[in-house]
Amino acid sequence: MVVLIMLTNFLIVLALGIAGPQDLRTSGPQDSKSPGPRVVRITAERFAYTPSEIVVEKGTVIEFHLTSDDTDHGFRIVGTTVNAEIPKRRRGETVVTYTADIEGEFVIECSRPCGAGHTAMRARLVVK
C-alpha cells in the first residue's frame, strides 16, 4: 500500500516535471530574447547616482537595486509611475522593476529632500 502511494506520488512529480518546461516555453512573450530582468545596481550619495547613465534596449525589463551611501534619497523616473524611496545607508536596498517599453531619454531625479544639492541630483535612462 505504501509502495503504491509512493509510486503515485512519483508519477505525479514526473508528470509535473514534464509539463513544467512546456508551460514556461509557451508563456513568455519574448522568450527567445530576454532570459530575465536586467539587474542594474545604483548607489545614491549626495548628490549623485552611480552609475549616472543607464542605457537599455526598448522592451528590457530592468530590475533596479537601489542603495544609499549616506542619507535617504528618492528615485523617480520622470514621465513614468516609478517613484521609490532609497533608505539611508545600511538600511537595505529598494528593488524597483520597470519595463522600458517607451523609447527616449528619461530624467531620473531624487524625490526626497536630501540636502543642498537635492534639486541637482539627477541621472539618465536612455531607452533605444
**C-alpha pair distances (Å), 3 with each of 8, 9, 10, 35, 39:** 9, 10, 10, 40, 46
| Binders of ligand CUA in range 10-29 (CB under 6 A) | none
Sheet (strand 53-56) strand order: 53-56, 122-127, 104-109, 73-77, 83-86
Write down how long the chain is. 128
| Binders of ligand CUA in range 39-98 (CB under 6 A) | 47, 73-74
* Binding of residue 114 to ligand CUA (CB under 6 A): yes
Stretch that binds ligand CUA, among 10-18, 54-62, 94-102, 105-113 (CB under 6 A): 105-113
| Of the residues 96, 110, 123, 127, which one makes contact with ligand CUA according to CB under 6 A | 110
Beta carbon of residue 43, minimum distance to ligand CUA (angstroms, whole number): 12
Inter-residue contact 67 to 86 (CB < 8 Å): yes
Measured from the CB atom, the residue of 60 and 68 that comes closer to ligand CUA is: 68
**Bridge partner residues of 12 (DSSP):** none
User: Rule CB under 6 A: which residues touch ligand CUA?
Assistant: 47, 73-74, 110, 112-114, 118, 121
